[in-house]
Structure 1
Amino acid sequence: MSIDTEINNALNTLKKGGIILYPTDTVWGIGCDATNADAVDQVYKLKNRDDSKALICLVDGYRMLEQHIENVPEVAYDILKNTFKPTTVIYDQPIRVAGNLVAEDNTLAIRVVKHNFCQQLIKKLKRPLVSTSANISGMPAPKSFKDISPEILNGVDYVVNLQKEKSGSKPSSIIKLSNSGVVTIIRK
């Protein structure tokens, strides 16, 4: 399968409100359209995850980030330009995303991806993409495609056929960045 075919198949699934299993810049992820509350709910159910535990969103660049965060602090750009590994930032005041994605403290974790497949898919979707590790909540995140459980494989609407696609094997760093300027490292 070509990458273009896989992008189109994944895109069709996402536009119908489905959930996908796909390679990211970190680990294999479960994803859906971040503006579709029903799809987000399906991700929580599949992972058997408490919906008070927020999920991460992926965007294709700063412009999309700015469309979904009320006020991106200037320091965010400095942090993102100077990191060498995938870094997720938790921002205050998300906008135009599914309400069930937003944490109780009105924050949202977003990562600007540089991964080719993810960037192309998000550009075509024109919306952020939910990204959560492809495991049942409480179980270890799979280090490669072969480690993904049958419950996850059978629970998604589409499995992107890019198993040979190189993805990282570690989750991203997570930094919380409040509008007041406080920076907290959540995961190195």
Structure 2
Amino acid sequence: MIEEINNCLTTLKRGGLILYPTDTVWGIGCDATNADAVDKVFALKKRAESKSLISLVSDYKMLNQFVEEIPEVAYDILKYAAKPTTIIFDDPIRVAENLIAEDNSLAIRVCKDPFCNKLIRKFRKPIVSTSANISGQPTPKSFDQISPEILKGVDYVVNLQPSKKSAKPSTIIKLTLDGKVQIIRK
């Protein structure tokens, strides 16, 4: 696992794209603070920039470094969530501008997967995570369902099997600073 993490770090630091197993599905990732790398993700996925991407952080401390103000309820939601849960926060900071949605929000998940968590901790910055498919096509449920176009379009493919076989996208919840909670995806 250490060699895979080091290979990912090298790729991320030079603005490249990785294909990696997350706590949900196989994801395309890049440095969430590098606008050029984020552009490469949008291009590879053939995704409109108006459609947001998710970023992964390693823990609450990192979450606090990239969101201006976190509503208290966020910690309760994350503490009691039965499955991986992504929260859309208002007022993200210190991330690539093209990662921030038009309404000045960003979807972030505290990732508990051992590989991802170690990778993010060593990288010391959030990593973009978006499903490993072309926009509009089904999300691959396993590595062998990932299209050749995606495999060829990334700079590094992690050689590990995911630790959990959930193969389902995360729950997505939008939290606003005025206390509104909206479930986007169950």
Query: TM-score interval w.r.t. the shorter chain?
Result: over 0.9
Q: Is the 8 A contact 1:33 1:39 kept in 2?
A: yes
Who is 1:145 aligned against?
Answer: 143
1:45 aligns to 2:27 (yes or no): no
Structure 1 length-normalised TM? 0.97
Q: Is the 8 A contact 1:33 1:40 kept in 2?
A: yes
Cα deviation, residue 163, structure 1: 3.1
Structure 1 counterpart of 2:176, from 165, 175, 178: 178
Q: Is the 8 A contact 1:135 1:148 kept in 2?
A: yes
Give the Cα separation in 2 of the matches to 1:164 and 1:83: 20
Which whole-Å deviations, capped at 9, do the CAs of 1:57-100 have from their partners, x for residues lacking one? 00000000000000000000010000010000000000000000
Structure 2 length-normalised TM? 0.98
Which whole-Å deviations, capped at 9, do the CAs of 1:127-173 have from their partners, x for residues lacking one? 00000000000000000000000000000000000136444210000
Cα deviation, residue 8, structure 1: 0.3
Count of residue pairs brought into register by the alignment = 186
The CA RMSD measured in Å over matched residues stands at: 0.8
Structure 2 counterpart of 1:136, from 134, 137, 145: 134
Q: Is the 8 A contact 1:59 1:113 kept in 2?
A: yes
Which whole-Å deviations, capped at 9, do the CAs of 1:104-124 have from their partners, x for residues lacking one? 000000000100000000001
Who is 1:24 aligned against?
Answer: 22
Q: 1:155 to 1:171 in 2, by over 3 A?
A: same
Q: Is the 8 A contact 2:22 2:162 kept in 1?
A: no
Q: Is the 8 A contact 2:23 2:162 kept in 1?
A: no
Give the Cα separation in 2 of the matches to 1:100 and 1:174: 20
Sequence identity of aligned pairs in percent? 69
1:63 aligns to 2:61 (yes or no): yes
1:156 aligns to 2:158 (yes or no): no
Give the Cα separation in 2 of the matches to 1:119 and 1:165: 12
Give the Cα separation in 2 of the matches to 1:175 and 1:88: 6
Structure 2 counterpart of 1:87, from 54, 69, 85: 85
